[in-house]
Amino acid sequence: MKPFVFFNAENVRIQLDDRSYDIQIGQNLLQGLSGDGAVPAGTAALVVTNETVQPLYGSRLVVALKQRYPVVHTVTLPDGEEHKNWQTLNLIFDALLQHGCDRKTVLFALGGGVVGDMAGFAAASYMRGVPFVQVPTTLLAQVDSSVGGKTAINHPLGKNMIGAFYQPQLVVCDLATLDTLPVRELSAGLAEIIKYGPIADMDFMGWLEEHMDSLLARDRTALAHAVRRSCEIKAWVVGQDEREAGLRAILNFGHTFGHAIEAGMGYGAWLHGEGVGAGMVMAAELSHRLGLVDDAFVARLKVLVQRAGLPLRGAVLDAADNAGRYLELMRVDKKAEAGEIRFVLIDGPGRACVRAAPDALVREVIDACCA
C-alpha cells in the first residue's frame, strides 16, 4: 500500500486563490476556537444550529465565541432534510435582521449537512455575502458537505436546486462531536468516505476494508485518518474545479441514483448517505454492464457498503413503473444536459468518468438493484 500524502500535519488546505481556507481536524477543537487566529474577525457572530445539536454543543461553541465577538446570537432550526427549504432558510434571515446584524457578522454552521448547506446559502445571500465558518458535527458533513463551498436548499421538484458556490473561511472538524452521532448517521457518513476509494484511491479503499470495524467503534485515530484522507481527496478535486465545470462531478459518484431515491421517497425518509450507499452499488453495476469494471469490483464494493451498515438495494419508488420513475427524477439532476442524464461511473478501479448510458441499460440496472 502506498503511503498517504498529507498536505499538513494539522490542517488540510483548500487552495482556491483568494478563497482558500483550512480544514482543521482534531479532538476538542470547539473549546479552543476563540483563541484561534484563523477564526475571522467580525462585529458579531450568529450560530446556526438545529434542535438536536443545540443542547449537545451549542453552549460550548457560544462560550468560546463570546471571547472573540462582542455579541453572539443563536438560531435553532428544526432538524432534518425535509426542512431544508426556503421557510427554514428564512428563519436565519429573520434572526439576522431582527438582531440588526451587519455585513461583518460571521455565521457559524454547527451541525450536519443540512445546517451547513442552509447556513452557507444564508451567508452567501445575506447582504450579498457575509463570512462563515463550518463546524460540522456529523461524519458526513466532516468529509463532504462542509468542504468545497456547495450550499443549497431543496425545491419540491429537486434536491439542492437553489443555492450558491460560496466558500467558508474555515472548517473545524471536532472528532469529539462524533461521540453522540446516532449509528444510522455514522453509517451515512461512511458512505461518503467509501466513495473516495472507487473514484480516486484504491489504497484508501483497502485501508477502509482493514479498518471498518475500528471506524464503526468510533476509534478516534481511525476516524481522524478517514476524515483527513477524504478531505485531502476532496481538496485536490475542488482545487482543480471549484464550480463543477468538469472533474468535480466525480464527487457525485452514487448521487444520481441516490438523489432519485431521496426525492422519490420524500426528503428525510432516507438519509443522504443511505441513498449514496445504494446509489454507489447501482452506479457500479451500471459501470460493469457498460464493460468498465469487472464483477469482482462490484462485489468488493457491495461488501464494504454492507459492512458500513448501509442499504445495498435501492427503494421501490413506483410499483407500476419503478425504472420510469427513477429516470424521471434523474433527468432533473443538475448534471443532466438537455434531458440526457450524466452518470458518474467507475472507469476502472480508482478512476471515475462522467457519461450518458442507454435508457434500456439503466432500466435493467434499476430492475436488478431495487428491493
Catalytic residue set: 128, 150, 192, 234, 244, 248, 252, 255, 259, 272
CB of 337 to a second copy, least distance (A): 5
- Is 49 one of the annotated binding-site residues? no
Kindly state whether residue 224 participates in binding a second copy, applying the rule CB under 8 A: no
Query: Interaction with a second copy in 273-312: which residues (CB under 8 A)?
Result: none
Nearer to a second copy, 100 or 291 (CB): 100
17 binds a second copy (CB under 8 A): no
**Cell numbers placing 243:** 464550480
For residue 31, the 8-state DSSP code is G
From residue 135 to residue 154, what is the string marking binding to a second copy with x (rule CB under 8 A)? Answer: ---------------xxx--
Helical ranges in 241-310 per DSSP H:
255-265, 272-289, 295-307
End-to-end CA distance of the chain: 36
For CA atoms 198, 117, 161, 77, the dihedral sign is positive
Nearest Cα to Cα of residue 303 among 193, 198, 192, 209: 209
Check whether 79 is labelled as a binding-site residue: yes
**Rounded to the nearest 5°, which phi and psi values hold at 309?**
85, 20
Residue number, 325 or 334, with CB nearest to a second copy: 334
The answer to whether 168 and 108 are in contact (CB under 8 A) is no
Question: Which of 124, 141, 147, 293: binder of a second copy (CB under 8 A)?
Answer: 124
Q: What is the smallest separation between the CB atom of 128 and a second copy, expressed in angstroms?
A: 5
- Three-state secondary structure string covering 348-361: CCCCEEEECCCHHH
Residue 97 binds a second copy, judged by CB under 8 A: yes
Provide the grid cell at 244.
Answer: 463543477
Separation between Cα atoms, residue 53 and residue 159, nearest integer Å: 23
Part of the chain binding a second copy (CB under 8 A), chosen from 140-148, 201-209, 259-267, 331-339: 331-339
DSSP string of 309-337? T--SSBPP--SS-HHHHHHHHHTTSTT-B
Residue 240 found at the interface with a second copy (CB under 8 A): no
Alpha carbon separation from 284 to 22, 199, 257, 316, 361 (Å, rounded): 33, 11, 11, 19, 13
Q: Give the one residue of 73, 255, 325, 334 binding a second copy; rule: CB under 8 A.
A: 334
Q: Kindly give the pairing relationship between strand 132-136 and strand 105-111.
A: parallel
Q: Which is nearer to a second copy, 332 or 353 (CB)?
A: 332
Where do we find the cell 443555492? 163
Say whether residue 66 binds a second copy (CB under 8 A): no
Which CB sits closer to a second copy, 7 or 165? 165
Which residue of 80, 93, 203, 218 would you call a contact of a second copy, by CB under 8 A? 93
116 has binding-site annotation? yes
| Residues placed in the known binding site for NAD(+) | 79-84, 113-117, 137-138, 150, 159, 177-180
Contact positions vs a second copy (CB under 8 A): 43, 70, 86, 90, 93-94, 97-98, 100, 102-104, 124-129, 150-152, 155, 157-158, 161-165, 243-244, 331-332, 334, 336-339
